Chain A
Amino acid sequence: MKKIGFLLLVLVLIIQPVAAQVQQEDFKPEDMTTFTIQVPHGVEGNGLAVRNSTLSAYIFFESYYDGNMNVTVELDLPKGFVLHEPSANSFTLQTEYDDWYRLVDFYIPADTPFGVYNITAKAVVDVEGTKHTIVRTTQLKVASKEEVANAVSVSQLIVPSDEDGYGDPSHPSNTLVVQETSPALKKLLQVTDLKIEKKELTSTYMGIELTNTGNSTIHVIVTYDILDIKTGEPVKAFKPDIMGMKADTLCYATVTLSPGSSSLISLPIYISPDAMGGDYLLKVKVKLTGTDWIAVTKDQKITSISRRWGPIITTFAASLLGITALGFFFSRPRKIMDRFKTRNLVLIALFGTVSFAAISLPMTILWDLSHAIFGPFSFLFTGLFNEILLYMLIASLVVLIPKPGVISLFMMVRFLLGGFITGSFTPITFITLSINAIILEFLLYVAGVTGKNPAPDNRLKMGIICGFSDVISGYVSFSVWMVLYRLFYSNWYIAVNLLIDGFLYTFIGTWFGISLGNRLKKVVE
């Protein structure tokens, strides 16, 4: 029995290590785990850094083993590098495909000698009490700033581009279009796939081609600024807040440049409607990961074209309306003119002459003189002629001849007379006068001032109609100046001008004009 017991003990002692050896052979660390290290994060292979920078090493461990494993990962940095946290991390992976990762920040001091450094990560895997060691090593080159700056370059800037950064020939190069909301812009907003609350925000893209001519993989962050070309200050209208975030949060890209490679990336450009037209400086900045140091900048002059669709549409609609009205008149001139007696035609012509002699002729000089002297406040003076006196004539003429068409004929005589004598055959005169005539004719007819049973004696009604009509024609006039003559006017100036010159002065002129018309009626009688 003793022999049997002894033999069993020997067998157990022999079998136990063999069994352990069998189990050990089942777990193969290289096949059943993935263990990687990237320094800096994103760079697989030899990384590049400059002194006085903070980098993140990315450590990743994944298990393909169907069971528990305890792992201890330790990062071994070269001498002089400063870790921001403990170098060792322990964790347990319990199932197949369970993983662990960490970004480990470290600092490269300013006095670190240039050169290539080995960074090692060691993982000790404990499976069923058996420990396995896996080691990964990567290299990090600490280079001088000059070396990095010489290796990286922005070889091309494409503004605007498509989503992929390629040039878009359907738009002029180096040009951004600032527009009010239009269907094309709404489409652009959809492309960005951002639910931007400010619907009027425009967006487009710029393409940036980066080249790495060095021997190391370089990880960079690319961003940009749009600057005032004179002061060099960033223009906020081109980097507005989006969904409560600063545009910088969205307008950057991280790129890994392999040695001897080029990469084309795209960055979005957001344009707020407050952006002004003009010339700007686009400054693209390339930072090396881990430092605020800007390795490369590329400047390019860009032009912003400001398109305001409101005045454009107003001018287009007003021109169309004026030409249509003219076409209507030319299609049936006899029928229209026969509605007026010869006496009416003569009276309208004479009123036209008076308006020319008392308003147009003096204003030929006074208008420009007043603008030259008073500048933006000249309308307070010129309005005496252009609004009060003019509407006195118009209102008194309507009192004398309360027929539809009388104002159109009066305006036509004014336009032709002005053209013949002072050469003012201008598109602005045509559009403004025709719109003024059309609106006045329509409103006076609808309000019953002219027509079958005319009632031109109500001063308040006529004053409001004429004032309203002049506000509209005044706005059209501003739009035409802005669109056809490329002139600028502030919103406050337009508003004040329309309110005082357009409505108030016109109302006063109409009020007095009705009294004048009634007095002239007595002369006729």
Chain B
Amino acid sequence: MIGARSIAEPTIKDTVIHRMDPRAKILILISTVFVAVSLDNQKTMFLLFLIILSGFVIAKMPAIKIKTLVILLVLLIWGTIYSQALFYSQLPRTVIFTIIRPDFPVLGWLTGGGLFVYEEGLHHGAVQGLRSASILSLGLLMCWTTDSRDMLNGLVGLKVPYSVAFMVITAVRFLPIIITEVATVITVQRLRGFNPKKFGSGIIKTLLNILTPTLANCVRRTGTLAVSIQSRAFRANPDRTSLKKLEFSNIDKVMITVFVFAAISIVVIKLLYNMYTSGIYYTSSLRPVYAIAGGYL
């Protein structure tokens, strides 16, 4: 649990990425998500992934976070590869392994003709895994390089209601306490003879026995915390001030412009291309656009 905490908490350093405005980071993240979702070209997708990974180098991330990232990416990409190897539904496809034979009782019928590992599915899964990996990597880069308070300031700066921001702040602040509490409850359960690592019933019993005391403590805290907050004039005034005033630097402005423009362009181009390939809309004047989308996106 303590390890999990140290992995989840941001590493604050003085790099270009750390100095970026949290609002800029959120906007860049949203733009990149749209780009990653739109792309189909394998090379371009891989390039995007490499660009995002280079951010970890620029941000000088500590080894433990790089290790965590690598583990997450390996599991994520392998999970996608595995599932797509089984469910790949395009041609050509080559069976390299049979998990359930088509004539296997019940399961053969249930799976609609067996379950196979397809060679082409492995390749497709690897390519599509890059999409999820890019989004996950950028999300982690953003949250590992930004203090949660700054991130929430950024959200408020992007017109997220303060009450919502407050709830998230409360949740973030209570996270270490609750993690510690969960750890304590697990220790108590172990002392009572439960084995949380025991697969099956062990996990279920542990989960149920952790949840009740943890939630009971949460509910108890609620009253105290609510009184404390209200006594500090929470929601008394519609407008709030902030200790730290966010300001966009010139680099932030350039980055936001570049990313937002790129995202809008790519999404529009891909949308037009998909309308063309689906026979919904075509105009000869957009042929260069179709060529770009077909060749590079």
Contact = CB atoms under 8 A, between A and B. Distances in A.
B92 A279 contact: yes
Contacts of A426: 33, 132, 135-136, 139
B184 to A, nearest CB: 12
B75 to A, nearest CB: 3
B72 A368 contact: yes
Interface in B1-58: 4, 8, 29-30, 33, 37, 40
A520 B112 contact: no
A169 B277 contact: no
Interface stretch (B168-176, B240-248, B253-261): B168-176
Interface string A79-101: 00000000000000000000000
A386 interface: no
A415 B4 CA distance: 19
Given A342-B235, A425-B29, A357 B179 contact: yes
Interface residues of B, number: 96
Contact of B279 (A184, A487, A490): A184
B181 to A, nearest CB: 9
Contacts of B66: none
Contacts of B141: 423
A361 B87 contact: no
B241 to A, nearest CB: 17
A-B CB proximity, top 9 nearest: A423-B139, A371-B79, A368-B75, A278-B91, A170-B282, A278-B90, A333-B161, A343-B226, A423-B140
B168 A417 contact: yes
A337 B164 contact: yes
Contacts of B230: 342
B218 interface: yes
Given A177-B277, A346-B170, A484-B37, A424 B136 contact: yes
A278 B124 CA distance: 12
A343 B225 CA distance: 8
A492 B111 contact: yes
Contacts of A351: 215, 218
A231 B93 CA distance: 10
Q: Find the residue from B155, B207, B221, B223 having the highest chain A CB count within 10 A.
A: B207
Contacts of A486: 40, 128, 131
Given A392-B211, A423-B142, A177 B80 contact: no
Contacts of B290: 172
16 contacts: A170-B282, A171-B276, A171-B279, A172-B290, A230-B92, A329-B161, A330-B159, A346-B222, A357-B182, A358-B211, A368-B78, A384-B207, A417-B175, A419-B143, A485-B131, A520-B219
Interface in A457-507: 484-493, 496
B215 A354 contact: yes
B226 A423 contact: no
Given A352-B167, A354-B215, A417-B171, 18 more contacts: A277-B89, A333-B164, A350-B219, A351-B218, A352-B171, A365-B72, A367-B79, A368-B79, A375-B82, A421-B175, A422-B8, A423-B142, A423-B143, A425-B142, A487-B87, A488-B84, A496-B110, A523-B219
A350 B91 contact: no
Contacts of A318: none
B168 A350 contact: no
Interface string A502-521: 00000000001000100110
Contacts of B167: 345-346, 348-349, 352, 409, 412-413
Q: Which of under 10, 10 to 19, 20 to 34, or 35 or more describes the interface residues of A?
A: 35 or more
B238 interface: yes
Interface of A: 169-172, 175, 177, 179, 184, 228-231, 235, 276-280, 304-307, 329-330, 333-334, 337-338, 341-343, 345-354, 356-358, 361, 364-365, 367-369, 371-372, 375-376, 384-385, 389, 392-393, 396, 400, 409, 412-413, 416-417, 419-427, 484-493, 496, 512, 516, 519-520, 523-524
Main secondary structure of the interface of B (DSSP, over half): helix
Nearest to B4: A361
Interface string B129-155: 001100111111111100010011001
Contacts, number: 271
A353 B280 contact: no
B187 interface: no
B215 A427 contact: no
A276 B284 CA distance: 29
A172 B167 CA distance: 51
Contacts of A356: 171, 175
B104 interface: no
A501 to B, nearest CB: 15
A487 B129 CA distance: 9
Given A230-B94, A423-B140, A516 B211 contact: yes
A420 B151 contact: yes
Nearest to A237: B91
A228 to B, nearest CB: 6
Contacts of B171: 349-350, 352-353, 356, 413, 417
Nearest to A515: B212
Interface string B84-104: 101111111110000000000
Given A229-B91, A420-B148, A490-B87, A346 B238 contact: no
B196 to A, nearest CB: 11
Contacts of A171: 276-277, 279, 282
B153 to A, nearest CB: 12
A337 B161 contact: yes
Contact of B294 (A172, A333, A423): A172
B161 A175 contact: no
B218 A354 contact: yes
A306 B124 CA distance: 15
A353 B284 contact: no
Nearest to A337: B163
B139 to A, nearest CB: 2
A314 B219 CA distance: 38
A410 B273 CA distance: 39
Contact of B168 (A361, A420, A491): A420
B91 A346 contact: no
A520 B164 contact: no
A385 B210 CA distance: 13
A392 B215 CA distance: 11
B92 A229 contact: yes
Given A280-B91, A334-B238, A427 B218 contact: no
Nearest to A430: B33
A104 B188 CA distance: 99
B292 interface: no
Given A372-B79, A425-B30, A487-B128, A400 B92 contact: no
B265 interface: no
A341 B140 CA distance: 33
B269 interface: no
B89 A488 contact: yes
B211 A389 contact: yes
B215 A516 contact: yes
A497 B161 CA distance: 36
